[in-house]
């Protein structure tokens, strides 16, 4: 609070305020400036490069284009602490002292999920074995709720199995903790590797597990085990591909396969990914779909649906997740442009990583596109719950057909309708026109979004249907039955 007071005092001291930076920190600062009613002129960056030309309706200039000798200029440094030091040194050299160092912690909240300590997890394992339960141990490269894969494929399964399963016990560990699991291997039924990459230590661990006749499974939620799809990932990037990116992608695929080749079978999120795994490895694969955790469900019960709010704008939301969705977003970007041209009260909310395409740049300049950097998953749920419709565009091919439907049910539990591309997973959960829309081309994106904009009652009914479907299919005992059935195949 002290920093906010100092920031406001700084802004009141100058006639013209510039924000130095155009990244995540600057974007977060922009929303704070708006909340404390502090006006600013524009953004400045060291070099334009790939930076946007406008942000929240304000131009982005190179610092060399600004006359820093002019009277009444104040600059807020909205960049990382490391970069702030370099810029401060530069400004000090030219005797410019009118700057404010904005300190911003973009880290995620630490206490969102109750992650047990290593000691508590080992004790849980001992008790499960003593109680005669069938034991599943999951190993991931790290334990972090910031990681979508870990949250959906590790924590959520642990949470629901703990609450509902009588026969099975499930616990997660990180790669650095695998030595702690070795003493338990003679009592463990299944070891599941979550999208892990091969190391010498993992190789030795697998040998121990196989000596104890433990079933080895590999859990994966994306088509990242075939090098032909590496090109697809790179093509969809928002930035120019570097040699390091090439090496990283192909290296990860090869190291994924090193473990997958040693596995007895696989766990996937949908039917297409299951077929690809069985085709490529000639081993059985069972489906454990992604589903909601108790925290997401609890939040949905206290946040009012968007259709119950009185407001004078219609918000379309796009929650990109990772940087690999630039090409996917183009499926609906021209339809969005047409809608925003026709209906002046439509705004677009983008959360995550996406570069605004050319056809939408003018709405960005007008301040009708809200850009929010990556947030923790509960904040994400809140932001989804505030929009009127959720977008899930994908270029439909084998790669995207292997993706899960989480963008549907994350919105559905918040009573928000989704317009999605007709991938296999979305076709399996969306009944077109009843609990969402499937959009194959620009015309369908335009007409379906327009329908939701114009017909409040239709949107409300579809949102209610979507939430009902999410509760019935992505929560509770039905989910446990799916998980138990998958593991019992190898029991």
Q: State whether the Cα torsion 137-140-144-150 is positive or negative.
A: negative
Task: State the average pLDDT over residues 62-73.
Answer: 89
Alpha-carbon span 280 to 290, nearest angstrom: 22
Ranges 274-283, 300-309, 339-348: which has the least confidence: 300-309
CATH architecture, domain defined by 2-101: 3-Layer(aba) Sandwich (3.40)
Nearest partner of 161 among 185, 142, 140, 134, judged by Cα: 134
pLDDT exceeds 60 at position 203: yes
* Ordered DSSP codes for 301-354: HHSPPGGGS--S-EEEEEE--SSTTHHHHHHHHHHHHHHHHH-TTEEEEEESS-
227 vs 105: which has the higher pLDDT: 227
Nearest partner of 335 among 324, 343, 326, judged by Cα: 343
Alpha-carbon span 239 to 241, nearest angstrom: 6
Domain 294-474 class?
alpha beta
pLDDT exceeds 80 at position 332: yes
Q: What is the reported pLDDT for 236?
A: 62
Q: Indicate where the chain has its CATH 3.40.50.20 domain(s).
A: 2-101
Q: State whether the Cα torsion 124-126-127-129 is positive or negative.
A: positive
Q: What is the reported pLDDT for 132?
A: 94
Ranges 285-289, 303-307, 329-333, 372-376: which has the least confidence: 372-376
Q: What is the average pLDDT score of the chain?
A: 89
Q: Indicate where the chain has its CATH 3.40.50.2000 domain(s).
A: 294-474
Q: What is the reported pLDDT for 111?
A: 44
Phi-psi region of 119 (alpha: psi -120 to 50; beta: other; left: phi over 0): alpha
pLDDT single digits (tens) 337-375: 999 999 999 999 998 877 788 999 999 889 899 887 777
Nearest partner of 188 among 265, 132, 136, judged by Cα: 136
pLDDT exceeds 80 at position 218: yes
pLDDT exceeds 50 at position 110: no
pLDDT exceeds 80 at position 37: yes
Phi-psi region of 381 (alpha: psi -120 to 50; beta: other; left: phi over 0): alpha
Domain 118-291+479-488, CATH: 3.40.50
For the chain, the distance separating the N- and C-terminal CA atoms, rounded to the nearest angstrom, is: 56
Collapse the DSSP code of 53 into the 3-class scheme (helix H, G, I; strand E, B; otherwise coil) and give the result.
coil
């Amino acid at each position: 609070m002290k920093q906010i007071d100092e920031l406001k005092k700084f802004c009141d001291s100058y006639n013209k305020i510039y924000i130095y930076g155009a990244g995540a920190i600057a974007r977060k600062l922009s929303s704070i400036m708006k909340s404390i009613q502090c006006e600013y002129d524009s953004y400045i960056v060291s070099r334009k490069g790939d930076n946007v030309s406008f942000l929240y309706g304000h131009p982005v200039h190179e610092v060399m284009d600004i006359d820093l000798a002019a009277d009444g200029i104040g600059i807020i440094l909205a960049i990382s602490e490391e970069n702030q030091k370099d810029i401060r040194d530069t400004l000090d050299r030219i005797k410019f002292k009118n700057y404010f160092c904005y300190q911003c912690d973009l880290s995620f909240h630490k206490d969102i999920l109750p992650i047990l300590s290593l000691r508590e997890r080992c004790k849980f394992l001992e008790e499960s074995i003593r109680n005669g339960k069938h034991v599943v141990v999951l190993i991931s490269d790290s334990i972090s709720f910031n990681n979508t894969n870990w949250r959906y494929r590790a924590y959520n399964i642990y949470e629901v199995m703990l609450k509902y399963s009588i026969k099975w016990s499930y616990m997660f560990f990180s790669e650095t903790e695998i030595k702690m699991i070795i003493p338990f291997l003679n009592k463990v039924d299944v070891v599941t590797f979550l999208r892990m990459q091969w190391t010498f230590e993992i190789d030795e661990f697998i040998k121990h597990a196989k000596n104890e006749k433990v079933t080895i499974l590999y859990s994966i939620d994306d088509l990242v085990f075939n090098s032909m799809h590496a090109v697809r990932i790179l093509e969809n990037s928002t930035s120019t591909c570097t040699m390091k990116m090439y090496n990283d992608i192909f290296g990860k695929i090869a190291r994924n396969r090193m473990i997958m080749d040693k596995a007895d079978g696989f766990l996937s999120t949908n039917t297409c990914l299951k077929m690809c795994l069985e085709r490529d490895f000639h081993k059985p694969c069972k489906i454990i779909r992604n589903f909601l955790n108790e925290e997401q469900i609890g939040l949905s019960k206290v946040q009012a649906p968007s259709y119950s709010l009185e407001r004078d704008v219609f918000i379309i939301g796009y929650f990109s997740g990772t940087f690999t969705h630039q090409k996917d977003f183009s499926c609906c970007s021209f339809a969005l442009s047409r809608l925003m041209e026709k209906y002046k009260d439509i705004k677009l909310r983008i959360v995550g990583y996406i570069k605004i395409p050319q056809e939408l740049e003018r709405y960005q300049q007008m301040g009708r596109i809200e850009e929010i950097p990556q947030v923790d998953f509960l904040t994400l749920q809140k932001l989804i719950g505030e929009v009127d419709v959720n977008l899930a565009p994908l270029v439909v091919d084998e790669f995207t057909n292997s993706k899960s439907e989480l963008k549907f049910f994350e919105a559905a539990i918040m009573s928000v309708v989704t317009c999605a591309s007709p991938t296999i997973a979305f076709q399996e959960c969306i009944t077109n026109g009843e609990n969402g829309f499937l959009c194959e081309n620009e015309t369908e994106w335009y007409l379906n979004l327009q329908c939701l904009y114009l017909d409040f009652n239709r949107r409300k009914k579809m949102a209610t249907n979507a939430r009902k479907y999410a509760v019935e299919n992505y929560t509770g005992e039905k989910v446990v039955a799916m998980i138990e059935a998958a593991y019992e195949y190898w029991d």
